């Protein structure tokens, strides 16, 4: 019987979720995202919010934004930073 390949949510779990941000190097400045949401209007939805960047920066800027992610572990990382 063939073994199923893990999906995206499974890939971004466990150790990958913990090490994602330090290894990925972050996103740099969130200023462009803040300008985009201010220009386009609120509320905003970040699909695939992962560890919370840039979503948490948008919230800190006083913008109304929600995030979702298929990986429970990535959402856990995001919640721990909020």
What pLDDT score was predicted for residue 53?
Answer: 86
What pLDDT score was predicted for residue 14?
Answer: 83
What pLDDT score was predicted for residue 55?
Answer: 94
Reference 56, options 23, 25, 24, 34; nearest CA is 34
In a domain, 3, yes or no: no
Alpha-carbon gap, residue 79 to 60, rounded angstroms: 14
What pLDDT score was predicted for residue 61?
Answer: 96
What is the residue-level pLDDT of the chain in tens, covering all 82 positions?
566 667 878 888 888 888 877 777 666 789 999 999 999 988 999 999 998 989 999 999 999 999 999 999 989 999 998 8
CATH number at residue 61: 3.40.50.150
Domain limits for position 39: 8-81
Q: Which pTM does this prediction carry?
A: 0.74
């Amino acid at each position: 019987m063939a073994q199923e390949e893990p999906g995206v949510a499974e890939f971004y779990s466990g150790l990958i979720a913990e090490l994602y941000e330090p290894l990925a190097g972050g996103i740099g400045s969130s200023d462009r995202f803040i300008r985009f949401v201010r220009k386009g209007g609120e509320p905003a939805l970040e699909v695939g919010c992962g560890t919370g960047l840039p979503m948490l920066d948008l919230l800190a800027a006083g913008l109304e934004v929600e995030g979702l992610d298929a990986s429970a572990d990535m959402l856990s990382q995001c919640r721990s930073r909020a």
